[in-house]
Structure 1
Amino acid sequence: MISRTVTVPADGRDLVGDLTVLAPAPARAVVLFAHGSGSSRHSPRNREVAAGLGAAGLATLLIDLLTEEEERQDLVTAGLRFDIPLLGRRLAAAIDWLGAEPATRDLPVVLFGASTGAAAALVAAAGRPGRVLTVVSRGGRPDLAGDALDAVRVPVLLVVGGRDHRVLGLNREAARRLHAPHRLHVVPGATHLFEEPGTLDRVTDAARQWCEEQLAAR
């Protein structure tokens, strides 16, 4: 694996990301991670999942959808993390960047969103159906995607902790609005952050298997 820090232009801003690609064998897809509320590309949970998917032959891009200045502002106001249209536009710009980057331009894109990042992923998937293979949501808030839920046409995997009762209910409601193929995968005993022993491994396994299915179908 070869990892490097990259800069992705979006919305007149420069977003920082960590791109990991396989060498010498090409990856089969690239997983673009959208972190959740108050988190960053350094999220240990997303990095653990990214490492597991990388071991399965997938390239990964973990990106900050806010600049450092915006993150400092968000720590005070907590407003930008819930600006789903903004985050969705920036995620779409990252998809476009992957389409121009030599190492990833021929790869289908998997969007992996956590918390509010899942809503941004669904918005971006609705806007880039030709580039996105599938969306995976971990403890996500798909309900915040609004009308984009009805417009998504790519398969969606919703992974939720069995003890994350409120978010589980929101995911069930969102699933009923999805017209695309979808699956709700409940991890028994897990709470919102999947901090319980072994639960994050189950998230990785579910995401890997889902991606395998979508790649085979493609």
Structure 2
Amino acid sequence: MEELSNIEQESKEVQIPIGPIYLNGDLDIPTGARGIVVFARGTGSKSLSSRDQYIAQEFNKNNLGTLLLDLLTVDEGGIEMLKRDFHFDIEMLSIRLIDVSRWLLNRSDTKKLNLGYFGTNTGTAAALIAAKELKDVVKAVASKGGRPDLAEDALMYVESPTLFIVGGKYAEIVDYNKWALDRIVIADKELKIIPGSNNLFEEQGAIEEVARLACNWFKRYLL
């Protein structure tokens, strides 16, 4: 993976009010951008994933704005006994993602940009549910190593073009994604399996392939 080139310096740190809490994010809008991708994660981590930062930078190079954020607060992620409950509270995560989307739609610098979601793990399920609720707004969804099966009740109502990217090492995750894709009825849907990769995409060249696939997907539907 190539080194990040000043992505932290170029990004604008934002605080997004969601009910009684604030979600921290990094907002980056390249000059001439016509679309923006919200990264939907639900880990409660104190720091952003370097792999997500790399993917965001690749999006930015291709005139796609990005909002990198976690749908859980650091405090929520730090409560170890409850962390799994927060992580798998798909309804809460999807409501927060919808609120984040409305926040973007009300900002002067983002309201005219075509909106897409990029989900990871349980954030994928939240993205699909939010896309169902905001079907006139969300133009595309993609995910890496996601759990779309956790959005079971929403899948048949998703109208946004949808791409699932998974590593080939874990048959169970591949099966979850195949199962979910079969239940999405729109024609614009794809599953891409990266052979020999786990779902953190740590192997040589894996995250670059994820970035390429996802970037091409969003360029097709957001630009």
| TM-score w.r.t. length of structure 1 | 0.92
CA RMSD of aligned residues (A): 1.6
TM-aligned CA distance change 1:211 to 1:40, over 3 Å:
farther
Task: Tell me, in whole angstroms, the C-alpha distance in 2 between the residues paired with 1:164 and 1:51.
Answer: 27
Instruction: Report the more deviating stretch, 150-159 or 40-49.
Output: 40-49
Task: Tell me, in whole angstroms, the C-alpha distance in 2 between the residues paired with 1:145 and 1:126.
Answer: 10
Aligned match of 2:149: 143
Aligned match of 2:81: 76
1:1-218 maps to which residues of 2 (within 5 A)? 2-22=10-30, 25-37=31-43, 39=45, 42-73=48-79, 75-77=80-82, 78-180=84-186, 181-215=188-222
How much does 1:99 deviate?
Answer: 0.4
Aligned-partner residue type, residue 72 of structure 2? L
The answer on whether the counterparts of 1:160 and 1:192 sit within 8 Å (CA) in structure 2 is yes
Q: Match of 2:105, SS?
A: helix
How much does 1:101 deviate?
Answer: 1.2
Query: Which structure's relative contact order is higher, taking Cα pairs within 8 Å and 6+ residues apart?
Result: 2
How much does 1:146 deviate?
Answer: 2.2
How many percent identity over aligned positions?
Answer: 38
| TM-score w.r.t. length of structure 2 | 0.90
Runs (4+) off by over 3 Å = 36-41
Task: Tell me, in whole angstroms, the C-alpha distance in 2 between the residues paired with 1:56 and 1:48.
Answer: 13
Q: Specify every segment of 5 or more residues in structure 1 that has no aligned partner in the other structure, as ranges.
A: none
How many residue pairs get aligned? The number is 213
